[in-house]
Amino acid sequence: MDGVNEPDENDNILNLLDQMRKNKYLDESREIGQTSGTKIAFYSRWIMANMLDMPLKSITASWESGELAKCGYTSSEVKDFIRAIFTDSPLRKECLWRIENIKF
């Protein structure tokens, strides 16, 4: 890491935990389309749990396919998660760029 604009990994983890504590990831009031909020909350929890075991490329593909956006995640949330879980690398930078530049 060059340290110029990139927050350190501890900041990323703290930010992720803070968002989770505020139930930003587990908010049962999120409703998408015709699906009830409870179903979305359950699915969002399932996705978050699975993301911990997913390779970086799979998380990026899930964002690009729209799956994570349909669960109510924002690109900032997904990028924060990736920064918190994965070490800095050319692949991580590429995946963050891809997430940043896809528009739904």
pTM of the model: 0.62
Q: Domain coordinates of the chain in residue numbers? A: 9-27+34-101
Alpha-carbon torsion (67, 73, 74, 79), positive or negative: negative
Q: 37 to each of 44, 52, 59, 63, how far by Cα in Å?
A: 10, 23, 23, 20
pLDDT tens per residue, range 47-103: 777 888 899 999 999 999 998 888 888 999 999 999 999 999 999 999 999 999 998
pLDDT tens per residue, range 1-44: 444 455 565 566 556 656 655 544 444 444 444 444 555 565 66
